[in-house]
């Protein structure tokens, strides 16, 4: 999701997701039009507020599936705040590299845990399955952070997918929840969304293993 760059020899940002170019044009357009009183810290807080809305929508869906609409609003708010905080800082040339990098990723981690865990506490997905997805995401994030330090490369996308594509996938899944329901599939004790999440978690963990192995071999060849 939007990142501030660390102070000492900022890593090269690698963003090759499908929507990257269009999203960058949109973010630049928004940055040029945001009021002067809007700050990156306010946008970070707004992004987190969006995550709270997402979590609340999933929990309230026990009472009525219409509350899932709150999740969709929350994802948009989360994207707006999280994608624009670092973008606005860079646009205005007011980066606070260490502070921004630390706060942004810390808030992102809490927000991600909050949103995905809440899916696991909804009627549509098991908590243990949702947490497997969180673990896969965090493993890949750890690889990204380590690579930024060791290789000077901050990779924001894998397999042509990034945070924005992930949000869109979660929004599509959320829109389908009232239609598909949370019933078990063929006596498996897993809903359709559980099975989908298990596939996604497996892909994330596999990417972590593959990327880590490739990086380790490269560093060994270099003699680092």
pLDDT in tens, 59-97: 999 999 999 999 999 999 999 999 999 899 989 999 887
- Alpha-carbon distance values, 224 to 13, 173, 216 (Å): 22, 43, 10
Q: Are 5 and 13 in contact (CB under 8 A)?
A: yes
Neighbouring C-beta atoms of residue 148, cutoff 10 Å: 21
- Three-state DSSP at 223 gives coil
- pLDDT at residue 100, as a whole number: 84
| 123 exposure class (CB count in 10 Å sphere: 0-12, 13-18, 19+) | middle
Share of the chain above pLDDT 90, in %: 64
| 221 exposure class (CB count in 10 Å sphere: 0-12, 13-18, 19+) | exposed
To which CATH superfamily is domain 12-222 assigned?
A: CDP-alcohol phosphotransferase transmembrane (TM) domain (1.20.120.1760)
Q: What is the dihedral of CA 143, 115, 15, 132, to 10 degrees?
A: 40
Please state the domain extents for the chain.
Answer: 12-222
Written as six digits, the tokens of 128 are 């243990």
- Three-state DSSP at 133 gives helix
Reported as a single tens digit per residue, the pLDDT across 4-21 is: 444 445 667 676 777 878
> pLDDT at residue 118 above 90?
yes
Please measure the distance between the N-terminal and C-terminal CA atoms of the chain and give it in whole angstroms.
Answer: 30
> pLDDT at residue 129 above 90?
yes
How far does Cα 152 stand from its chain's mean position?
21
pTM attached to this predicted model: 0.89
Cα separation, 123 vs 106, in Å, equals 28
What phi, psi does 13 have (nearest 5°)?
Answer: -80, 125
């Amino acid at each position: 999701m939007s990142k501030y760059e660390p102070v000492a020899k900022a890593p090269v940002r690698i963003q090759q997701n499908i929507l990257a170019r269009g999203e960058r044009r949109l973010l630049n357009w928004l940055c040029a039009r945001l009021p002067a009183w809007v700050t990156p810290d306010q946008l970070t807080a707004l992004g987190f507020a969006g995550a709270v809305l997402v979590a609340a929508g999933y929990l309230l869906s026990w009472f009525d599936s219409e509350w899932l609409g709150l999740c969709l609003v929350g994802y948009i708010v989360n994207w707006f705040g999280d994608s624009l905080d670092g973008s606005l800082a860079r646009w205005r040339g007011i980066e606070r590299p260490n502070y921004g990098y630390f706060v942004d990723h810390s808030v992102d981690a809490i927000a991600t845990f909050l949103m995905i865990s809440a899916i696991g506490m909804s009627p549509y997905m098991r908590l243990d399955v949702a947490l497997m997805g969180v673990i896969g995401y965090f493993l890949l994030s750890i690889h990204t952070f380590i690579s930024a330090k060791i290789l000077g490369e901050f990779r924001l996308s894998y397999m042509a997918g990034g945070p924005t594509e992930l949000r869109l996938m979660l929004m599509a899944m959320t829109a389908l929840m009232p239609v598909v329901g949370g019933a078990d599939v063929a006596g498996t004790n897993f809903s359709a969304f559980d099975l989908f999440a298990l596939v996604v978690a497996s892909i994330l963990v596999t990417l972590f293993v593959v990327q880590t192995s490739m990086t380790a071999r490269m560093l060994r060849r270099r003699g680092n």
